[in-house]
Amino acid sequence: MKALCTPAELAEGQSRGFVLDEVRLLAVRKDGQVHAYLNRCPHRGIPLEWLPDQFLDHSGSLLQCATHGALFLIDSGECVAGPCAGQSLTALACREDAEAIWVTL
């Protein structure tokens, strides 16, 4: 597992992008739980964000692809609207302890 950041660096309702070993990924905290995904839309294989660390829709309740507007559930990565409906983001195993948020690539 590789460290992404300290727990304090990913606040509730916040999303952040990271690059580990040249792999783009994102993490988001919802209801105290951290979820991590490859930063790659299943529709075109492009990164989701349009600005650094901007992965959430205007309501803050869904992940959104800035290019085509696809919307994904934070807790499962499932696309619920847009050109890739029914597909999912690639989830990464992650855990959190007092030191860091850890992911497995």
Q: What is the CATH number of the domain that holds 29?
A: 2.102.10.10
Q: Which amino acid is at 45?
A: G
| Structural domain count, the chain | 1
Confidence of residue 3 (pLDDT cuts 50, 70, 90): very high
Print the domain residue range for 66.
Answer: 2-103
The H-or-E segment that residue 24 falls in is strand 23-30
Cα gap 61→64, rounded to integer Å: 10
Evaluate if pTM is beyond 0.75: yes
Q: Is there a contact between 47 and 25 (Cβ–Cβ < 8 Å)?
A: no
Instruction: With beta carbons less than 8 A apart as the criterion, state whether 99 and 3 touch.
Output: yes
- Per-residue pLDDT of 20-59, as tens digits, reads 999 999 999 999 999 999 999 999 999 999 899 999 999 9
> Burial of 39 by CB count in 10 Å (0-12 exposed, 13-18 middle, 19+ buried)?
buried
Residue range 1-13: mean pLDDT, rounded: 97
4 in Cβ contact with 101 (< 8 Å): yes
pLDDT of residue 50: 87
Single-letter code of the amino acid located at 22: E
